[in-house]
Chains A and B, each alone.
Chain A
Amino acid sequence: MSLLANIDGVRETTDIDHSAQGFHHLHVITLDALVPVTQTFFDNGFYLEMMTCQDRREADGIFRLVYQFCTMSTPQRHLVHLDIDPTTSAPSIAHIFPASDWLEREVFDMYGVGFDNHPDLKRILMPEAYPDGAHPLLKDFVDPESKGEADGQSV
């Protein structure tokens, strides 16, 4: 709770019921706060368990970057939300957590979100020669190979 109290840009911190949702705390932060927040987590012995993105452009006009920090023993799982404008890029935290090198590449690959100061931002799961601008996990993604309708909900 008090972990991030002194950092500017941490807009909101809420406690979550771990037994129902698996997280202990949720922090909503701004773009500037990401690096100091990450550094704080690093200094307090957390590791970056997971990092991903949500495509909320339709509802809110944003990409929501999700960082999940966790301690090793007696898990304390912190969820960090960083909402960014689809046109802007986020700062990379790969210099603090090298694990985020690949995770940021995956987010870039799947959502097209850029990361500043990333050591080597390129596609990771899709082929390097995949068409620019084709990012599969976007909600409006259309398979460039089929050139037709993307596989919708008609399963």
Chain B
Amino acid sequence: MASRFDVVQDAESRDTYYLNMGPQHPSTHGVLRLKLHLDGETILSVDPVIGYGHRAHEKMAENRDYLQFLPNPSRVDYISGMIYNIGYCQAIERAMGIEVPERAEYIRVIANELNRISSHLLWLGTFLLDLGAFTPFLYAFDDREKILDILDRVTGSRLTYCYGRFGGVTLDVDDLFLQQTAEFCTHFKTRFALYEELVIDNVIFQERTVGVGVFEPDLIQKYGVSGPCLRAMGQANDVRKDEPYGIYDRFDFDIPTQMAGDCFVRSLVRMDEMRQSVRIVEQAVKDIPDGPFIAPKVPKRIRPAEGEYHFCVESARGNFGIYIVSDGSDIPFRLKMRTPSFANMATMPDVMKGTLLSDAVAILGSIDIVVPEIDR
């Protein structure tokens, strides 16, 4: 058997060659390896090799009770960990029939949407970094830092949050948090013009992204593409609207869509999503009621009735589903996480075929993969 790291000369043709992009490469966003078959700089085929960041979360779930697994989901996707963490809580709450107080629901929405904005900002920075523009990265991180500071104050962590609890959240938020959040929203709305001027309207940026990495419409059904990639193909699907969880049905927000399905409109969709998230946060900050932040009566032992449960949330990358099989004991019999990056990444062999090496970098950046989420 050939070694994994062999540099293989193509047997059939002397004009083509294989190039390992990764596992350690500046723009694979982690330890992802793309085995590229190249003719010059044109990609003939791509074979993504994943699993370098596999941490056996699903095996861990089978060896822990439901509460002990609580810190894990936010490690699956560390960029939008809050959404995963709270999503897992909501999955258990529905399985157990735990009622969540109003205030906790609002806190969760604010935290989720702030986390979504910070995730999209990180995408903006790293995507532009992939395209060779260094400066927007620091502008985006400047704004992201404000969100991290706000969340850090109430949750105690900056990245891998474990803020949700079954029936609510760990700690209540204070008025300062709401004030800071409102201030951030006001500040952030003024930044869109800047990003558009600096990034979206840039001629070179458009040259690099328009018409590059087009997702053909049939990929939606074949691969189950979700998230901003899906909405950039003209499908207005968002779990927050389709199967509203928590209290998302109370908020007034739109699903931004674009038709072209290329890297450029994926960027536009994400920019618009940040606007919508700001809208949601502003509504939530205005309407948040007083009251308990965690349900007063949560069962001591989390034992969902025997059966299968599925719960999905809209993470920053798409449809994140948690599938739990309970055998009635303290420990999940099977816990499977359906991660959006896994499905989106699976399309890469189809999407990247025939593009250039530089495009591969742009495409990878534009679908916003988080490699540990693919590997779990």
Contacts and interface: CB of A to CB of B under 8 A. Distances in A.
B334 A52 contact: yes
B343 interface: yes
Interface in B259-273: none
A47 B220 contact: yes
Contacts of A21: 95, 307-310
A72 B64 CA distance: 34
A136 interface: yes
Which secondary structure dominates where chain B touches chain A?
mixed
B338 A155 contact: no
Interface string A117-155: 000000111111100000011010100000000011101
Interface string A75-98: 101010000000000000000011
B334 A136 contact: no
B58 A49 contact: no
A48 interface: yes
A54 B333 contact: yes
Nearest to A48: B224
Which secondary structure dominates where chain A touches chain B?
loop
Interface residues of B, number: 44
Contacts of B376: 125
A77 to B, nearest CB: 7
Interface string B204-227: 000000000000000011111000
Nearest to A98: B222
Interface string B26-61: 000000000000000000000000110010101100
Interface stretch (B115-123, B160-168, B318-326, B355-363): B318-326
Contacts of B331: 153
B72 to A, nearest CB: 12
A113 to B, nearest CB: 14
A36 interface: no
Given A20-B94, A23-B308, A79-B308, A124 B51 contact: yes
Contacts of B84: none
B201 interface: no
B42 to A, nearest CB: 22
Given A20-B94, A23-B308, 14 more contacts: A21-B95, A21-B308, A21-B309, A22-B309, A47-B220, A47-B223, A72-B220, A79-B308, A99-B346, A125-B54, A126-B54, A127-B4, A155-B63, A155-B68
Query: When A and B form their complex, which 8 residue pairs have the shortest distance between CB atoms, in order from nearest?
Result: A22-B310, A125-B51, A50-B338, A47-B224, A125-B54, A99-B223, A52-B336, A47-B221
